[in-house]
Amino acid sequence: MAEFLNTPLAELTQFSASSDRPASLAAAVLTDDNRLIIIVVAVVAVAALVVAQLLARQVLAAGEGTERMKEIAAAVQEGANAYLARQLRTVGVFAVVVFFLLLLLPADTWSQRAGRSLFFLVGALFSAATGYIGMRLAVRSNVRVAAAAREATPEEGEPEKDLTAVSHKAMKIAFRTGAWSA
């Protein structure tokens, strides 16, 4: 490894006489062990998406509070949607620029150049989707957390409520929302 790190870039990009690959770089090979790792990661990812969907349903099933709370939540959602739309446009331009930069970097074959560029875009799209859905759920859950916490506040003349049970409900909504993005 130390030898590789000390090799000048020009030498790494020179082709050997016996193959069309750089002399100092080994080609990436998908072995059975690698395939197993990919399958395990895919299964865990699908399981995480199922759990996230269950958590989102539980959060969105909670009450939204008073009409005034719903109005404020709608305004916050409108602002968040405008922010996300602007952010996605900006990040989209950046992703396209990086896609072409990755395409221009040297590689053993054209398919490696195209593959790394394409998979960068795939990763960027999944990252953007996760951020968008997470933000959307967070904004929609805020009013539900506030409504659950509001239940802990006694009305004038009412006896004190069990704060533990009510605040537990609000915390459960908040943590389930946060777990979605994690």
4 falls within a domain: no
Angle formed by the axes of helices 32-60 and 110-150, to 10°? 30
Give the type of residue at 139.
Answer: V
Domain tally, the chain: 1
Q: Which two tokens stand for residue 36?
A: 């197993």
98 falls within a domain: yes
Measured between alpha carbons, how far is 1 from 11 in angstroms, rounded to an integer? 15
21 falls within a domain: no
The pLDDT assigned to 28 comes to 57
2 falls within a domain: no
143 falls within a domain: yes
169 falls within a domain: yes
83 falls within a domain: yes
pLDDT one-digit tens code per residue, 162-174: 666 667 888 888 8
Tell whether the model's pLDDT for residue 82 goes beyond 50: yes
Mean pLDDT of 155-181: 77
Tell whether the model's pLDDT for residue 27 goes beyond 80: no
Measured between alpha carbons, how far is 6 from 118 in angstroms, rounded to an integer? 30
pLDDT bin (cut points 50, 70, 90) of residue 33 is: confident
Q: Which residues sit opposite 15 in a β-bridge?
A: 22
Q: Which domain holds residue 103?
A: 30-181
Measured between alpha carbons, how far is 61 from 75 in angstroms, rounded to an integer? 20
Q: Strand, helix or coil at 165?
A: helix
Residues 6+ apart with CB under 8 A from 52: 179, 180
